[in-house]
Amino acid sequence: MFFKLFLLFAAIPILEVYILVRLGGAIGWKPTLGICIVTALAGSLLAKHQGLNAWRRVQADLAQGILPGDALLDGLLILAGGLLLITPGL
């Protein structure tokens, strides 16, 4: 099981770098860099906006005396998605 996970986590970044290099060769390095920057900006803006909404829901649930399990999970998933969009790649 460990070997399969290691292979998965090693193969995906290698494949992504390969695709970035091929894309850079096809359309040039400036548009490729632009795509990466736009993706990172979009990811950070979306994560900030949605993360603040999730935080407000957590606070509202706590104010009502409700355990904010769903809102916390939403916030965690928003954080994970934002990190994936912010990291360089496609």
Residue range 40-85, pLDDT digits in tens? 898 899 999 999 999 999 999 999 999 999 999 999 999 898 888 8
What's the whole-number mean pLDDT along residues 3-32? 89
For residue 90, the model assigns a pLDDT of 64
Quote the pLDDT of residue 16. Answer: 87
Residue 57 in domain = yes
pLDDT score for 12: 83
Domain membership of residue 15 (yes or no) is: no
Q: Which position has the higher pLDDT, 27 or 7?
A: 27
**Would residue 86 count as lying in a domain?**
yes
Q: Kindly tell me if the per-residue pLDDT of 2 is higher than 90.
A: no
**Domain for residue 26, yes or no?**
no
Which pTM does this prediction carry?
Answer: 0.70
- The answer to whether residue 16 is domain-embedded is no
DSSP string, the chain: -HHHHHHHHHHHHHHHHHHHHHHHHHH-HHHHHHHHHHHHHHHHHHHHHHHHHHHHHHHHHHHTT---HHHHHHHHHHHHHHHHHHSS--
Q: How far is CA 55 from CA 42, 70, 73, 74, 79, in A?
A: 20, 11, 11, 9, 11
Tokens representing 44?
A: 């950070």
Q: How high is the pLDDT of residue 5?
A: 86
Question: Which residue range forms the structural domain that includes residue 62?
Answer: 39-90
- Please tell me the total count of domains within the chain: 1
Query: What's the pLDDT score for residue 48?
Result: 93
